[in-house]
Amino acid sequence: MKVDIIVDLSFGSSAKGHVIEDLLKSRKYDASIRTGATNAGHSLTYEGEMYSVQTIPCAWVDPDVKLFLGAGCFIEKKLLEREIEMINKATGKDVRDRLYIDGRATILEDCDIEAENDGDGMNKEMGSTAHGCGAILIRKLWRGHNSLLPKQMKNEKEYATQMGLKVVDTIEMLNEMDASVLLEGTQGTMLSVHTTPYYPFCTTRECTASGYLAECGFSPRDVRDIIGVIRSYPIRVHGNSGDTGGKELTWEDISQRCGREVEPERTTVTKLTRRIFEFSWLDFEHAVRVNKPTMLALSFADYLAPDIDGRTTLTEIPEASRAKLLARKQQMEEIAHAPVVWIGTSPRDAIKGGF
């Protein structure tokens, strides 16, 4: 089995969906797997339209790729149903014919969402999306022995059968296939619960290459490439979501730097305006140490300087702006000892060096 991992080297929202979209055009995969929960959304285009998913892997856009939800998945039923309906409508085919769910994945219940929205809620305290992902993890860790919580975690098998989904041992199946697998990481390294420098302003799991492998039940020896994706300027979600290693900026600052009016970004999940910060080389060094990427993808490069927006080759970029972009690229490569093979210049455009 050969596994390529997509990992965000920052705080999430680094256009991983866009990178995956282009990666699927360069490499042939038998399967794609996702773990994580519904508090992370990835966006990509299919036949000219933009789509967002929070559960099903982005590789749904390739009809030849089998799709897997791994053992570490937390699944929100209504959301999964909406995504199946969306994909079926977009492709004209039933995605359930190639969608497999691990028998150890967990159903996220209404009580989990309610627990995180009780009173002032976690959203006000630390900028959490309050989708119940922490509460469901606590229920899973209690293993049904806390009388204040449901006595038995609801396994997804019964639900999956009702929905016409395939319940399998994803670890066994993918190893027996000897598959080429794209592992789609969620959120971002700097949000990792154990290793972030910014606890408690973090998520509920390890959003690192090794963390994703553990949730899928894969061996480090299965890994072929680790593709680290990072933004030109990191973001954090709306509200009291914590700091980064860089100074907080305004969206007006970004507009001035790139010489055009930039519409403030909103998160895929909450739809609230993102906070944006100066790039931190200390944060980047931390993410590189934790993940050891073999190649890099730089997104939102059009924010760095004027006339980068929408360009697909370096030669199209004016000399001053190209010099600034190449300086960023060179410093990233020197720190990571890995090449920058993809540079995103708009939600639909990129300069591609080759995966």
> Strands 275-277 and 248-249: what pairing?
antiparallel
- Check the CA dihedral 273-275-279-280 and report its sign: negative
Q: Please state, as a whole number, how many other Cβ atoms lie within 10 Å of the Cβ of residue 29.
A: 20
Mean pLDDT of 110-125: 60
* Confidence check: pLDDT of 124 > 60: no
* Confidence check: pLDDT of 103 > 60: yes
Separation CA 298–CA 24 (nearest Å) = 17
pLDDT in the model for residue 307: 97
Mean pLDDT of 251-269: 92
Q: Please state the pTM of the whole predicted model.
A: 0.90
Query: How confident is residue 111, by pLDDT bands cut at 50, 70 and 90?
Result: low
Tell me the sheet residues that pair with 289: none
* Confidence check: pLDDT of 132 > 80: no
Average pLDDT, the chain: 90
User: Residue holding tokens 């806390």?
Assistant: 146
Hey, what are 68's tokens?
């897997």
pLDDT in the model for residue 113: 66
Q: What is the pLDDT of residues 48-76, one digit of tens each?
A: 999 999 999 999 999 999 999 999 988 88
Query: How confident is residue 355, by pLDDT bands cut at 50, 70 and 90?
Result: confident
Hey, what are 100's tokens?
């497999």
Mean pLDDT of 303-315: 97
Separation CA 286–CA 178 (nearest Å) = 33
- 238, 36 contact by CB (below 8 A): no
pLDDT in the model for residue 229: 98
pLDDT in the model for residue 155: 54
- 75, 153 contact by CB (below 8 A): no
pLDDT in the model for residue 157: 64
* Confidence check: pLDDT of 14 > 50: yes
Q: Which domains does the chain have, with CATH numbers?
A: 2-352 (3.40.440.10)
Separation CA 298–CA 309 (nearest Å) = 13
Q: What is the pLDDT of residues 205-230, one digit of tens each?
A: 999 999 999 999 999 999 999 999 99
For 84-113, letters b (16+ CB in 10 Å) and e give bebbeeeeeeebbebbbbbebbbbbbeebb
Separation CA 289–CA 74 (nearest Å) = 28
* Confidence check: pLDDT of 244 > 90: yes
pLDDT in the model for residue 150: 42
Tell me which residue of 355, 209, 224 sits closest to 287, measured CA to CA: 209
* Confidence check: pLDDT of 336 > 80: yes
- 139, 149 contact by CB (below 8 A): yes
Query: How confident is residue 146, by pLDDT bands cut at 50, 70 and 90?
Result: very low
Of the listed ranges 86-100, 158-172, 325-339, the least confidently predicted one is: 158-172
